[in-house]
Structure 1
């Protein structure tokens, strides 16, 4: 019975670490994109505010990084991705059973 409690504790700890990792990723995404935005409008250049990059060029970093952030969120919070975690658990159990 203690073995089961240890497994539950380990899974809970892993889940908390995954959630913390997502929120860290989200925070860095927001901060970096604010800095990029401010740099593009010329806040750091000392020449006054002007739009540097125009069109799609301005949105490349937030867009593609946002896609990665979206999938990270699905991995952490999405119920449809649980089959991947179940697969990992099954594989780990399979390897443990082979070694015994």
Structure 2
């Protein structure tokens, strides 16, 4: 009984850690991209020292950076909420059944 409770606690703890990691990823995503776009549109230029002046066209790569990071964030979201998507759960169940049948057939060969 204690093992079952410990197992539930470990799963819940892992889930909370995954949620914390996701929200941390989201905060960093917004913070970094806001700063990059502020540089790109020249809003932060008056606050930089004279020897560190950047031109807005230095940041033309920011759009691609945002797109790539959005794809990564989407993958992270799908992974985090993988149990909410029924098609993923059904796929997992089908794969488990397939491999269980395969193992059973392998065992029957040797009997």
Do structure 1's residue 52 and structure 2's residue 60 form an aligned pair? no
Task: Please provide the CA RMSD for this pair.
Answer: 2.6
Runs of 4+, deviation exceeding 4 Å: none
Q: How does 1:1-100 map to 2 (within 5 A)?
A: 1-46=1-46, 52-53=56-57, 57-79=61-83, 80=88, 83=92
Once the two structures are TM-superposed, the CA of residue 7 in structure 1 deviates from its matched residue by 0.4
Query: Highest Rg: 1 or 2?
Result: 2
What's 2:105 paired with? none
Structure 2 unaligned spans of 5+: 48-54, 97-111
Once the two structures are TM-superposed, the CA of residue 43 in structure 1 deviates from its matched residue by 1.3
Q: What are the superposed Cα offsets for residues 52-76 of structure 1, whole Å, 9 maximum, x if unpaired? A: 24xx734111100111111011111
Structure 1 unaligned spans of 5+: 88-100
Q: TM-score, normalised by structure 1?
A: 0.69
Q: TM-score, normalised by structure 2?
A: 0.63
What's 2:103 paired with? none
